[in-house]
Amino acid sequence: MSVATSSGGAAPGPSHVRRIVLLRHAKAEWSESSDHERPLAERGRKDAPAAGRMLARSGFAFDLALCSTAARTRETWKLAVHELPERPRTVYEDRLYEASLGELIALLNEVPDEVGQLLVIGHNPGMHALADALAGEAEGDLLPRMNRSGFPTSAYAVVEFSGSWKAVEHGVGRLTGFWTPHD
């Protein structure tokens, strides 16, 4: 993955607080297409911009977006990004499709330390598993609420941690946000 950035501001140091937002793709149609090429359903085309609006309201300023190459994740991102005040650099990453928890953590370990806020647009069970694994602690009832919900389509989780991306591992972060289109 080539995710080098060229931000104009000062690069965050290794102990800088970083934010990962894990966005599950919007609702997809079941079709005769291969799983990788399934398009969004009508509900997904409505929920994806809503997720983008909530991300914008949260004030996130992403340095980088990593998006699975599957059609439903690319379409989710295309609809959500239009709601953001600024479009972050986007890398379409084949390895996000059907990635295991270990593969997702390995991808995060490759993110350059210049990235302070990262958005990952991917699939379940990976997005849910990653949010759960990274959250060594959580604000309020966020962790049980996220686990009860099953991480529905268009949902996103926010995990914050200090340190280098190379040090991302189980329990390193704090779950500080969780949103679903049903909220």
pLDDT tens for each residue of 32-46: 879 999 999 999 999
- Structure letter (DSSP) for residue 13: P
pTM: 0.91
pLDDT given for residue 16 in this prediction? 82
- Which domains are assigned to the chain? 17-179 (3.40.50.1240)
Contact 63, 113 (CB under 8 A): no
Average pLDDT over residues 97-110: 97
CA torsion angle 40 43 48 49 (round to 10): 130
Statement: residue 148 has pLDDT above 70: yes
Strand 156-162: give its sheet, edge to edge: 89-93, 64-68, 117-122, 17-24, 156-162, 173-179, 135-138
pLDDT tens digits for range 26-75 = 999 998 879 999 999 999 999 999 999 999 999 999 999 999 999 999 99
Statement: residue 24 has pLDDT above 60: yes
